[in-house]
Each structure stands twice: as structure tokens, then as C-alpha cells.
Chains A and B, each alone.
Chain A
Amino acid sequence: MRTVIVGCGRVGAGLAERLAREGHDVTVIDTNTEAFSRLEPDFPGQAIRADGTDEDVLRRVGTDTADWFFALTEGDNRNAFAAQMASETFGVKNVVAKVNDPVRAEAYTQLGLATICRTRLLVDALGQYAGLAPDKGASGVRQVERHHDHLDPEAVPAGAGHPSH
């Protein structure tokens, strides 16, 4: 499995480590070399200092042959942008964007992008800890199927019928 990860923050680095150790061919991109210090010294993948929203960069790292693409920088817009470039320009099948603003996450989910919203996940987890009922829409990566621009009112968690690795 070839995986491209944009953003080597705590989440990006953590996911890169795990996937690489499970045998994925991982390329992680960040504009800041210091971010790569979050990776273990024996990280088995590739770390590349570049702008992951730049089409030339994504082409150079072989995004067109990637099975998975994760946009995990600190910027919601950057993530939405990189993720759409991966799916629309490079035809990557499994693309996830981290969008921490719940409103924007919902908007992009409705546009057909798979999103994960840290804010909503944390609020749900803490809410449940405090005895609230689980927020069904908060779980994990969310995605709706696009039916000729008709948007499903209820977004469902991604996973069922989805290729697994």
C-alpha cells in the first residue's frame, strides 16, 4: 500500500509511524524539517520537506499511484485543498482531510470529501465521559456518497464497504 501524508505534526507523524511499521510504503511531507524530529530515528518511510499543496510536489512523490492520502496539517483550508487535489487531479481513491472547524468539516463532508474533525471527536469523547449520549456523526472519518449532486442529509461514518488495508 502506498500512502502519502501531508503534515508531520503529532497526528501525521504518529500515523506515518504506524502505517510504515505495518508495511505501508509511506511518504510524509512537511514544509518544516524540524517536524520530522517527531518521527523515530529508524522511521522506515520517506520524509520530504516540501509544500504538500503544490501539484508539482505531489506529482514528484508519486501521488498518482498512492492508495491512501491523508491531509493532516494544522490548516483546515490547506487540508481541504490538498485532499481535493489528491482526489481530483491525481485520482487517489482513499483521501481523508483533517478539518478541525466543525462547520467546515460538515461542509466538506457534504461535498463528498472524507473528513475527520478533531473538535467534534474530542467533544463527543468528553461528553460521553460526562455521561452524555454518543454523537453518532462524530465517530471517526466521515464520508457521504455523492449522488448526482444530491446530498444526503445524514452523513454516515466511513468504513462499511470501504477497502481496508
Chain B
Amino acid sequence: MYIVVVGGGKVGYYLAKELLEAGHELVILEKNASRARQISDELGSIVLNRDGCEGKHLAEAGANRAAIVAAVTGDDEDNLVVCQMAKHHFDVPKTIARVNNPRNEDLFKHLGVNEIISPTRMVLAAVEQDIPVHELLHLAQLKGGEMELVEAQITEGSPALGRKSTDIELPEGSSLFLLLRGSQVHQVRADTVFQAGDKVLAVAKGDAGEDVLRRELIGDVEPARTAS
């Protein structure tokens, strides 16, 4: 399979190395001359010292017969341009982009990039595994901080599980008002029964209000440092 790799940084270099070992045919486009020389010293003459964002350089690299173009530079905007050129000008069947800012993922997908790799997202996911979900999430301050808009997730261990909203006693000024269940949003009514996975939006008045909400909706809070 013929693969064009744009960007000869660490990702591009190791990617090329692995692909070569697996017997694929490839070329790396790297615009920095000294970096390009360094890679060709190590991997052989598979490097073009060109800016892969330009159509004529992609043409020179044989993008029109490539099965895959992988844009793995450190700049999201460059990676998008490479994939768009590859897709729309060279009819490359599969484009792969490295996306550094996770917020750009949707735009890349929307604009037709086939595969999106986000190292930031991967590390983030690994970090989030160690963040206890059993906490109140503070969403916004109301009335100058007097009240707080919070979100609580109902889990298997929540005291509120299987109970009706009216069975949960809250101090004055605090209230439960919205329920996020799956992709639906419901108002919390008197007959609402909480299920595992529900997210409840509530207003808490002061620390006392928060303490009650935490105790009733979440239960025992695990220590924040669970990573060993």
C-alpha cells in the first residue's frame, strides 16, 4: 500500500519507521530541510523536503496513487489543509489527521477527514479515569455566589437511587430542577424516580445546601487522589 505522510516530527518519523518495517511503500513530506536530511539519513531516501500543504508538492509525492494520506504535523490548520487537498484534488480514499486541539475534532469530521487521531484526547481520557466522578460539578454561580448551579451524577451507590424526588429533603433555597437521562432532558417532577446514569441539575444555597445535595444524591465521596 502506498502511503503519503505529511510531517516528519516524532509522530511522522516513528509512523514511517513502523510502516516501512511492515513492508509498505511510503514517502514523508517534511518542510524543514535539516529535519528532512536527518530522517533520510536514518530511514533512507523516502523524504521529500517539501511543504505538504501545497498541491504541487502532494502531486510530486504521488498523492494521486496513494491509498492513504496521513497529516501528522503539530499544526491543526496544516493537517486540515493537507487532508482537504488530498481528498478533493487527488481523490485519496482515506485521509488521516492528527488533531491537537480536541475542540477541532468535529470540524475535521464535518469537513470530510476520514480518521482523526487526537493525542490530547487520549491523554485526557486516561487522566479522567482517575478523576472521581462522585463529586458535585459546579456549573455556575448565581446571585453573586450566594447560590450555585451544580450537577450530580446518580450512580449505583447513590442514596437517591430508586427514590422519588419528593422523598429527598433539601434545605430551603436548594432545589432539583432538571434531569438529563440519555439524550433527553426532563424537568424534575414530584414523581420523578432517579435511575443510575441520571445527571441531575440542582441549585444549592450555600455550603450547607451543597453538603445535603452531595449526601443525598452522591453519597460517600471517594478521596480525590485515587491514583497509586
Interface set of A (CB-CB < 8 Å, partner B): 53-56, 75-78, 80-82, 84-85, 88-89, 101, 103-104, 107, 110-111
Contact = CB atoms under 8 A, between A and B. Distances in A.
Contacts of A78: 77
Contacts of A107: 55, 84-85, 88-89
Interface of B: 53-56, 75-78, 80-81, 84-85, 88-89, 101, 103-104, 106-107, 110-111
B76 A81 contact: yes
Interface SS majority for chain B = helix
Contacts of B89: 107
A47 to B, nearest CB: 22
A106 B10 CA distance: 32
Contact of B110 (A80, A88, A103): A88
A18 B34 CA distance: 44
A56 B53 CA distance: 25
A88 B107 contact: yes
A82 B76 CA distance: 11
Contacts of B84: 80, 107, 111
B104 A55 contact: yes
Given A54-B101, A103-B55, A107-B88, A89 B106 contact: yes
Contacts of A101: 54
